[in-house]
Structure 1
Amino acid sequence: MSTDDLMEIQQLLARYAVQMTRGDIDGVIAVFTPDGSYSAFGDSYGLDEFPALVAAAPKGLFLTGTPVVELSGDSATGTQPLCFVDHASHDLRIGYYNDTYLRTAEGWRLRTRAMTFIRRSGAHDSGRPHAYQRPDA
């Protein structure tokens, strides 16, 4: 396991959190592979859907913890804790991301990111189905 690889992945994930906090969708998309996807709310979304998905999401602080990463050559998997603080109400959402990473010519990138929310009941789930409505095609 290379320390350089781990640091690069940690910086990649830090860029994701900072860009989400700033509302910089281009910066968020840049941390993914071209075929990357985000999963939540019972569905998976490609990069072409990110602008609408992020626009519909609450705004606030994406505070992430150090990920646990398992490297395997030019790919890796990981889990990263998240605490989201809504900017207006300061309500919290907590949970974790389950990720896959791929080493590309541009460096490490997220290939998939799946959100799991932790509820007050203690349940872990991917969110309410249809919390985000895709535009009609």
Structure 2
Amino acid sequence: MSTTDELVAIQQLLARYAVTITQGDIEGLVGVFTPDGTYSAFGDTFTLDQFPDLVAAAPKGLFMTGTALIDLDGDTATGTQPLCFVDHATHDMRIGYYSDTYRRTADGWRLATRRMTFIRRNGDHDSGRPHAYEAPTV
């Protein structure tokens, strides 16, 4: 596969992430990750089994993502993708970016890790407020 083909495959993976989360398709969302994939925000890291509760607790709306800057390295890659989230009820926006790692699997490229960084009105970049979502204690 050419470098261009690899980059297009990862871009399509990222488009699938944005569309599935916007549409509330949890199964599709989980499918863009490796089985051991994680998502980090709000001062914590979440595993795939926590996604249904995490997404249920999150505001609903449109996830608009920009073209990711990707660095390929064989069967792995890293990338950064800008994000603008628009709340469906208020049209309030949240902006930031994802920092990702990708891994080629038998099923194609998948997200291995995705970390959210929010950009605040004061210019701060942070992982979000811990109280925005709390994982249930086991």
TM-score tier after normalising by the smaller chain length: over 0.9
State how many pairs are aligned: 137
Deviations 1:35-61 (A, max 9, x none): 000000001000000000000000000
Question: Which amino acid counterpart does residue 87 of structure 1 have in structure 2?
Answer: H
Q: CA RMSD in A?
A: 0.8
Contact kept, 8 Å, 1:42 with 1:130, in 2: the verdict is no
Deviations 1:6-63 (A, max 9, x none): 0000000000000010000000000000000000000100000000000000000000
What's 2:16 paired with?
15
Determine the C-alpha separation between the residues in 1 that align with 2:110 and 2:127: 22
SS at match of 1:33: strand
What's 2:97 paired with?
96
Determine the C-alpha separation between the residues in 1 that align with 2:83 and 2:101: 16
What's 1:42 paired with?
43
Superposed displacement of residue 64, structure 1: 0.1
Q: Which runs of 5+ in 2 are unaligned?
A: none
TM-score between both structures, scaled by the size of structure 2: 0.98
SS at match of 1:130: helix
Aligned pair 1:28/2:34, yes or no?
no
SS at match of 2:134: coil
Query: For 1:77-92, what aligned pairs fall within 5 Å after superposition?
Result: 77-92=78-93
Q: Which runs of 5+ in 1 are unaligned?
A: none
Structure 1 outlier segments of 4+, above 4 Å: none
What's 2:54 paired with?
53
Residue identity over aligned pairs, in percent, reads 72
SS at match of 2:131: coil
Contact kept, 8 Å, 1:39 with 1:45, in 2: the verdict is yes
